[in-house]
Amino acid sequence: MGALTRIINLEENLNMTTDLISAQFNHAKQTLEAFSTAENMQKIVSGIEIMYTALSKGNKIMSCGNGGSMCDAMHFAEELSGRFRKNRPGLAALSISDPSHLTCVANDFGYDFVFSRYVEAIGQAGDVLLGISTSGNSNNVIHAVESAKAKGIRTIVLTGKDGGALAQIADLEIRAPYSDFSDRAQEIHIKVIHSFILGIEHRFGY
């Protein structure tokens, strides 16, 4: 292959890659615009109020999810217990992500129960559980919501697609617009999570 041919092929590949990435950004923008309805904004405000009320009464927020959704659950909890935009007191939030707990329960009871067992162990009436599932059908998140409701814990879920089983059982469901791929839903979820944190801080006056 000559040098000129290699340069032409490189330029073609770069152009194809640029087109691919640009299309992804445009689709993400369209998804965000589709999500940004008055109904969804009100749902986010309702979620903020539920969580603020729990924290202001000395309760805590637990969060859970699988894979990328676990990363989002951890991100949510650490920015409440740690820091978001400015310095303020830590807020009582934790993600169900301790590897020793997850592997113990998965080994002894099955992976479907890794989150619900934790809720059973430390959840208290008045707490809040934030469950994240891009399909709405993650069995371990479903079981966690069921365990939470049995203990008088308010439940908020972030979902995608058609909302799945979680849409039917949670106190509050916030659903990303339908997409064949989980990354679009995750992009909406992280925006909602940041909005939750910002709103909670605002309610506390920080």
Helices (H) and strands (E) in the chain, counts: 8, 5
Is the pLDDT reported for residue 17 higher than 90? Answer: no
Helix (H/G/I), strand (E/B), else coil: 61: strand
Over residues 47-91, the pLDDT tens digits come to 999 999 999 999 999 999 999 999 999 999 999 999 999 999 999
Q: What is the pLDDT of residue 18?
A: 87
Is the pLDDT reported for residue 201 higher than 60? Answer: yes
Q: What is the pLDDT of residue 4?
A: 47
Could you tell me the strand order of the sheet in which 128-132 lies? 93-95, 61-65, 128-132, 154-159, 172-175
Half-sphere exposure of 57 (CA within 13 A, CB side): 13
Q: What's the rounded mean pLDDT across residues 135-147?
A: 98
Q: How far apart are CA 202 and CA 168, in angstroms?
A: 30
Domain span at 23: 1-35
* 42 and 21 together in one domain: no
Which one has a higher pLDDT value, 12 or 73? 73
Q: Characterize 60-87 residue by residue with b for buried, 16 or more Cβ atoms within 10 angstroms of its Cβ, and e for exposed.
A: bbbbbbbebbbbbbbbbbebbeeebeee
* 64 and 133 together in one domain: yes
* 92 and 124 together in one domain: yes
* 73 and 8 together in one domain: no
Q: What is the pLDDT of residue 66?
A: 98
* 24 and 73 together in one domain: no
Tell me what the pLDDT averaged over the chain comes to: 94
Q: What is the pLDDT of residue 146?
A: 98
Look up residue 40 and give its two tokens.
Answer: 């969804």
- Look at 19-23, 69-73, 168-172, 192-196 and tell me which has the smallest mean pLDDT: 19-23
* 16 and 50 together in one domain: no
CATH number of the domain bearing residue 148:
3.40.50.10490
* 48 and 30 together in one domain: no
* 59 and 27 together in one domain: no
Q: What's the rounded mean pLDDT across residues 168-197?
A: 96
* 46 and 31 together in one domain: no
* 46 and 113 together in one domain: yes
Over residues 148-165, the pLDDT tens digits come to 999 999 999 999 999 999
Q: pTM of whole model > 0.85?
A: yes
Q: What is the pLDDT of residue 2?
A: 60
Q: What is the pLDDT of residue 170?
A: 98
* 31 and 61 together in one domain: no
Number of structural domains (the chain) is 2
Q: What is the pLDDT of residue 164?
A: 98
Q: How far apart are CA 145 and CA 133, in angstroms?
A: 12
Is the pLDDT reported for residue 122 higher than 60? Answer: yes
- Look up residue 53 and give its amino acid: T
